[in-house]
Amino acid sequence: MMAGEKKEQGTSALHVTDGNKHVVGLKALRVHISPDGGAWFAQGLEVDYAAVGKSIDEAKNNFKSGLSKTIREHLRMHGTIEKLLQIAPQEAWSEFFSASEEGSLKLSFSMLDVHDLTPKPETSGKKTAFPFDKILFVEPEPAHVK
Amino acid sequence: MAGDQVPLKDVLQVLKLAPTAANVRIAISGNTVTLVKDGVPEVIDLIDPVPRKMLRRFAYKYGIPIEYFFHIEMVIRGSKKRQ
Protein backbone atom coordinates (compact mmCIF):
# COMPACT_ATOMS: atom_id res chain seq x y z
CA MET A 1 0.00 0.00 0.00
CA MET A 2 1.32 3.50 -0.87
CA ALA A 3 1.90 6.06 1.86
CA GLY A 4 -1.25 8.13 2.43
CA GLU A 5 -3.39 5.65 0.53
CA LYS A 6 -6.69 5.03 2.26
CA LYS A 7 -7.29 1.39 3.06
CA GLU A 8 -10.78 0.37 2.06
CA GLN A 9 -12.58 -1.71 4.70
CA GLY A 10 -14.45 -4.65 3.25
CA THR A 11 -17.85 -5.65 4.55
CA SER A 12 -17.91 -8.86 6.52
CA ALA A 13 -20.41 -10.95 8.44
CA LEU A 14 -19.84 -13.33 11.30
CA HIS A 15 -22.05 -15.98 12.86
CA VAL A 16 -20.94 -18.06 15.83
CA THR A 17 -23.31 -20.49 17.46
CA ASP A 18 -23.32 -22.63 20.57
CA GLY A 19 -26.55 -24.60 20.77
CA ASN A 20 -29.37 -22.08 20.98
CA LYS A 21 -27.04 -19.14 21.57
CA HIS A 22 -25.98 -17.15 18.53
CA VAL A 23 -23.58 -14.25 18.07
CA VAL A 24 -23.98 -12.36 14.80
CA GLY A 25 -21.69 -9.57 13.68
CA LEU A 26 -21.84 -7.29 10.67
CA LYS A 27 -18.85 -5.08 9.90
CA ALA A 28 -18.64 -2.04 7.63
CA LEU A 29 -22.05 -2.48 6.02
CA ARG A 30 -22.76 0.56 3.85
CA VAL A 31 -26.05 2.30 4.62
CA HIS A 32 -27.47 5.11 2.53
CA ILE A 33 -29.83 7.44 4.39
CA SER A 34 -31.77 9.70 2.03
CA PRO A 35 -34.69 12.11 2.47
CA ASP A 36 -38.10 10.84 1.41
CA GLY A 37 -40.91 13.37 1.66
CA GLY A 38 -40.78 14.55 5.25
CA ALA A 39 -39.04 11.37 6.44
CA TRP A 40 -35.73 9.52 6.02
CA PHE A 41 -35.14 6.20 4.29
CA ALA A 42 -32.18 4.01 5.28
CA GLN A 43 -31.08 1.38 2.75
CA GLY A 44 -28.37 -1.20 3.41
CA LEU A 45 -26.24 -2.03 0.36
CA GLU A 46 -24.31 -5.23 1.05
CA VAL A 47 -27.36 -6.48 2.96
CA ASP A 48 -30.70 -5.64 1.38
CA TYR A 49 -32.48 -4.30 4.43
CA ALA A 50 -34.29 -0.96 4.74
CA ALA A 51 -35.88 1.16 7.46
CA VAL A 52 -37.63 4.51 7.82
CA GLY A 53 -37.64 7.28 10.42
CA LYS A 54 -38.99 10.77 10.94
CA SER A 55 -35.43 11.96 11.63
CA ILE A 56 -31.99 10.67 10.66
CA ASP A 57 -31.51 9.34 14.19
CA GLU A 58 -34.85 7.52 14.14
CA ALA A 59 -34.02 6.01 10.72
CA LYS A 60 -30.67 4.79 12.13
CA ASN A 61 -32.31 3.36 15.25
CA ASN A 62 -35.09 1.66 13.27
CA PHE A 63 -32.48 0.22 10.90
CA LYS A 64 -30.49 -1.19 13.80
CA SER A 65 -33.46 -2.58 15.76
CA GLY A 66 -35.29 -3.87 12.67
CA LEU A 67 -32.18 -5.60 11.34
CA SER A 68 -31.65 -7.17 14.74
CA LYS A 69 -35.25 -8.49 14.77
CA THR A 70 -34.77 -9.72 11.19
CA ILE A 71 -31.59 -11.57 12.16
CA ARG A 72 -33.48 -13.18 15.05
CA GLU A 73 -36.23 -14.36 12.65
CA HIS A 74 -33.59 -15.83 10.31
CA LEU A 75 -31.98 -17.68 13.21
CA ARG A 76 -35.36 -18.89 14.47
CA MET A 77 -36.48 -20.11 11.03
CA HIS A 78 -33.22 -21.37 9.51
CA GLY A 79 -30.55 -21.39 12.23
CA THR A 80 -28.31 -19.31 9.95
CA ILE A 81 -28.09 -15.82 8.43
CA GLU A 82 -27.15 -17.10 4.96
CA LYS A 83 -30.41 -15.97 3.35
CA LEU A 84 -30.00 -12.49 4.86
CA LEU A 85 -26.77 -11.89 2.97
CA GLN A 86 -28.32 -10.63 -0.26
CA ILE A 87 -27.13 -7.36 -1.77
CA ALA A 88 -29.51 -4.48 -2.49
CA PRO A 89 -30.99 -4.12 -6.01
CA GLN A 90 -29.16 -2.14 -8.69
CA GLU A 91 -31.46 0.87 -8.18
CA ALA A 92 -30.25 1.28 -4.57
CA TRP A 93 -26.58 1.12 -5.63
CA SER A 94 -27.13 3.67 -8.42
CA GLU A 95 -28.83 6.01 -5.98
CA PHE A 96 -25.96 5.56 -3.50
CA PHE A 97 -23.25 6.40 -6.05
CA SER A 98 -25.12 9.30 -7.64
CA ALA A 99 -26.26 10.93 -4.37
CA SER A 100 -24.63 14.18 -3.31
CA GLU A 101 -22.94 14.37 0.08
CA GLU A 102 -25.12 17.30 1.22
CA GLY A 103 -28.55 15.81 0.56
CA SER A 104 -27.99 12.38 2.07
CA LEU A 105 -25.81 10.42 4.45
CA LYS A 106 -23.48 7.53 3.64
CA LEU A 107 -22.63 5.53 6.71
CA SER A 108 -20.56 2.52 7.58
CA PHE A 109 -22.60 0.39 9.96
CA SER A 110 -21.30 -2.32 12.28
CA MET A 111 -23.15 -4.33 14.89
CA LEU A 112 -22.64 -7.27 17.18
CA ASP A 113 -25.83 -9.01 18.22
CA VAL A 114 -26.39 -11.80 20.71
CA HIS A 115 -29.51 -13.97 20.41
CA ASP A 116 -30.52 -16.65 22.88
CA LEU A 117 -33.18 -18.84 21.29
CA THR A 118 -33.46 -21.23 24.22
CA PRO A 119 -37.19 -21.99 24.67
CA LYS A 120 -38.56 -20.34 27.78
CA PRO A 121 -39.66 -22.87 30.43
CA GLU A 122 -43.42 -23.37 30.75
CA THR A 123 -44.92 -22.22 34.02
CA SER A 124 -46.53 -25.67 34.50
CA GLY A 125 -49.96 -24.45 33.47
CA LYS A 126 -50.04 -21.71 36.09
CA LYS A 127 -51.11 -18.41 34.71
CA THR A 128 -49.01 -15.52 35.87
CA ALA A 129 -51.40 -12.86 34.61
CA PHE A 130 -54.97 -12.19 35.64
CA PRO A 131 -57.42 -14.49 33.84
CA PHE A 132 -59.41 -11.46 32.65
CA ASP A 133 -58.47 -8.37 30.75
CA LYS A 134 -60.16 -5.63 32.70
CA ILE A 135 -60.52 -4.72 36.33
CA LEU A 136 -63.78 -3.01 37.14
CA PHE A 137 -63.84 -0.87 40.23
CA VAL A 138 -67.25 -0.86 41.87
CA GLU A 139 -68.13 1.99 44.15
CA PRO A 140 -69.81 0.76 47.37
CA GLU A 141 -73.40 1.90 47.67
CA PRO A 142 -74.25 3.83 50.81
CA ALA A 143 -75.99 1.65 53.40
CA HIS A 144 -79.71 2.25 53.78
CA VAL A 145 -80.60 3.17 57.33
CA LYS A 146 -84.17 2.77 58.43
CA MET B 1 -50.50 9.81 -7.93
CA ALA B 2 -51.56 11.77 -4.85
CA GLY B 3 -48.99 12.53 -2.18
CA ASP B 4 -45.67 10.98 -1.28
CA GLN B 5 -46.66 9.38 1.99
CA VAL B 6 -49.53 7.19 3.12
CA PRO B 7 -51.08 7.03 6.62
CA LEU B 8 -49.82 4.02 8.58
CA LYS B 9 -53.35 2.69 9.18
CA ASP B 10 -53.99 2.57 5.42
CA VAL B 11 -50.67 0.81 4.77
CA LEU B 12 -51.43 -1.79 7.46
CA GLN B 13 -54.91 -2.32 6.02
CA VAL B 14 -53.48 -2.88 2.53
CA LEU B 15 -50.91 -5.33 3.91
CA LYS B 16 -53.73 -7.18 5.72
CA LEU B 17 -56.20 -7.27 2.84
CA ALA B 18 -54.22 -7.18 -0.41
CA PRO B 19 -53.97 -10.48 -2.23
CA THR B 20 -50.35 -11.61 -2.16
CA ALA B 21 -48.55 -14.40 -3.94
CA ALA B 22 -48.63 -17.82 -2.32
CA ASN B 23 -44.95 -17.51 -1.39
CA VAL B 24 -45.51 -14.29 0.64
CA ARG B 25 -46.73 -14.22 4.25
CA ILE B 26 -47.36 -11.05 6.26
CA ALA B 27 -47.81 -10.65 10.03
CA ILE B 28 -48.57 -7.35 11.76
CA SER B 29 -48.03 -6.45 15.40
CA GLY B 30 -48.54 -2.78 16.29
CA ASN B 31 -46.44 -0.83 13.80
CA THR B 32 -44.07 -3.75 13.22
CA VAL B 33 -44.54 -5.77 10.05
CA THR B 34 -42.98 -9.17 9.42
CA LEU B 35 -42.87 -10.16 5.76
CA VAL B 36 -41.69 -13.57 4.63
CA LYS B 37 -41.01 -14.33 0.97
CA ASP B 38 -39.79 -17.78 -0.10
CA GLY B 39 -38.87 -18.44 3.54
CA VAL B 40 -36.80 -15.24 3.84
CA PRO B 41 -38.09 -13.07 6.70
CA GLU B 42 -37.80 -9.31 7.10
CA VAL B 43 -39.02 -7.32 10.12
CA ILE B 44 -39.72 -3.61 9.62
CA ASP B 45 -40.76 -0.96 12.16
CA LEU B 46 -42.98 1.48 10.28
CA ILE B 47 -43.64 5.15 11.02
CA ASP B 48 -46.76 7.23 10.47
CA PRO B 49 -47.07 8.28 7.66
CA VAL B 50 -45.14 5.71 5.64
CA PRO B 51 -42.81 7.29 3.07
CA ARG B 52 -42.94 6.36 -0.60
CA LYS B 53 -39.58 4.58 -0.82
CA MET B 54 -40.77 1.97 1.68
CA LEU B 55 -43.97 1.47 -0.34
CA ARG B 56 -41.84 1.00 -3.46
CA ARG B 57 -39.87 -1.62 -1.56
CA PHE B 58 -43.10 -3.48 -0.70
CA ALA B 59 -43.94 -3.36 -4.40
CA TYR B 60 -40.70 -4.66 -5.90
CA LYS B 61 -39.86 -7.10 -3.15
CA TYR B 62 -43.27 -8.52 -2.23
CA GLY B 63 -45.30 -7.79 -5.35
CA ILE B 64 -47.87 -5.50 -3.69
CA PRO B 65 -48.76 -2.91 -6.35
CA ILE B 66 -47.89 0.61 -5.12
CA GLU B 67 -51.24 1.92 -6.44
CA TYR B 68 -52.99 -0.12 -3.72
CA PHE B 69 -51.49 2.11 -1.01
CA PHE B 70 -52.75 5.27 -2.69
CA HIS B 71 -56.16 3.82 -3.60
CA ILE B 72 -57.07 1.71 -0.58
CA GLU B 73 -60.71 1.51 -1.76
CA MET B 74 -59.55 -0.83 -4.57
CA VAL B 75 -58.18 -3.25 -1.98
CA ILE B 76 -61.27 -3.08 0.25
CA ARG B 77 -63.58 -3.65 -2.73
CA GLY B 78 -61.48 -6.60 -3.90
CA SER B 79 -61.42 -8.09 -0.43
CA LYS B 80 -65.24 -7.85 -0.10
CA LYS B 81 -65.67 -9.52 -3.51
CA ARG B 82 -63.41 -12.41 -2.48
CA GLN B 83 -65.47 -12.92 0.66
**Residue predicted with more confidence, B21 or A104:** A104
Residue A62 is part of which domain span? 12-116
* Residue A135 covered by a domain: no
For each successive 10 residues of chain A (146 residues), what is the average pLDDT?
Answer: 59 94 95 94 97 97 97 97 96 91 87 92 58 53 58
- CA dist B15 → A97, B31, B52, B62 (Å): 32, 12, 15, 10
Taking only residues 20 to 49 of chain A, the set having a beta carbon closer than 8 angstroms to any beta carbon of chain B reads 34, 36-39, 41, 43, 49
* Residue A94 covered by a domain: yes
Any B CB within 8 A of A80 CB:
no
* Residue A3 covered by a domain: no
C-alpha angle A100-A103-A106 in degrees, rounded to nearest 5: 70
Q: Please state the ipTM of this predicted complex.
A: 0.90
Question: Mean pLDDT for chain B?
Answer: 90
What is the layout of strands, in order, in the sheet containing B32-37?
B24-29, B32-37, B40-45
CB contact under 8 A, A74 and B45: no
Name the pTM for this structure.
0.82
* Residue A144 covered by a domain: no
pLDDT in tens, B29-65: 999 999 999 999 999 999 999 999 999 999 999 999 9
CB contact under 8 A, A51 and B50: no
